[in-house]
């Protein structure tokens, strides 16, 4: 399986369309969304191409291959527009003998890890991408809409025990292999 993992869309339809173009070209099997899907959030400005309804319509065409978790800007009203569940605080994926923990990052994060053993911990929320191999691999996907710290818009992929971070334009920034 090839997973495309994004966080912090914050209502930007053009940014989501760019990611979905990569999804199609890279022949991904699953789209994992780590929260903050439709709402731009009270601390952010208005994103280019703000279109929550358009995002919902576009993502609803992908409902079978989507795994999504709740971000701090997601609400029950957002769930009413989406045809796939988004209200869980985390999701687990078992793939080829490896366990992946997916969350937004406002509850569980690298300073407050969940109990249990996982091979990789994926989160967003800070809008700062990070990919490190420690006791478990840590991957912050960054944000496709509001990257911070001078970073470009980013997302991640996971396939065959390999985690990669890409810029929105498809340029590879970093990869690590799970052991």
pLDDT tens per residue, range 56-114: 999 999 878 999 999 999 999 999 999 999 999 999 999 999 999 999 999 999 999 99
- pLDDT tens-digit series, residues 144-171: 999 999 999 999 999 999 999 999 999 9
Percent of the chain with pLDDT over 90: 93
Q: Which domains does the chain have, with CATH numbers?
A: 2-177 (3.60.21.10)
- For the chain, the three-class secondary structure string (H helix, E strand, C coil) is CEEEEECCCCCEHHHHHHHHHHHHHCCCCEEEECCCCCCCCCCCCCCCCECHHHHHHHHHCCCCCEEECCCCCCCHHHHHHCCCCCCCCEEEEEECCEEEEEECCCCCECCECCCCCCCEEEECCCCCCEEEECCCEEEECCCCCCCCCCCCCEEEEEECCEEEEEECCCCEEEEEECC
Is the pLDDT at 19 greater than 90? The verdict is yes
């Amino acid at each position: 399986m090839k997973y495309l993992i994004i966080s912090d869309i914050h209502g930007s339809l053009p940014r989501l369309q760019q990611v979905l173009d990569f999804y199609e070209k890279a022949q991904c099997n699953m789209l994992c969304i780590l929260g903050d899907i439709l709402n731009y959030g009270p601390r952010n400005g208005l994103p280019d191409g703000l279109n929550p309804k358009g995002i919902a319509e576009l993502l609803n065409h992908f409902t079978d291959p989507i795994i999504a978790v709740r971000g701090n800007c997601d609400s029950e009203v957002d769930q009413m527009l989406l045809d796939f569940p988004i209200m869980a605080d985390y999701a687990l994926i078992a793939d080829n003998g490896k366990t992946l923990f997916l969350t937004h990052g406002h509850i569980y994060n690298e300073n407050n890890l969940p109990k249990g053993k996982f091979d990789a911990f994926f989160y967003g929320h800070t809008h700062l991408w990070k990919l490190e191999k420690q006791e478990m691999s840590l991957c912050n996907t960054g944000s496709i809409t509001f990257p911070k710290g001078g970073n470009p818009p980013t997302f991640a992929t996971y396939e065959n025990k390999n985690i990669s971070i890409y810029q929105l334009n498809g340029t590879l920034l970093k990869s690590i292999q799970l052991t």
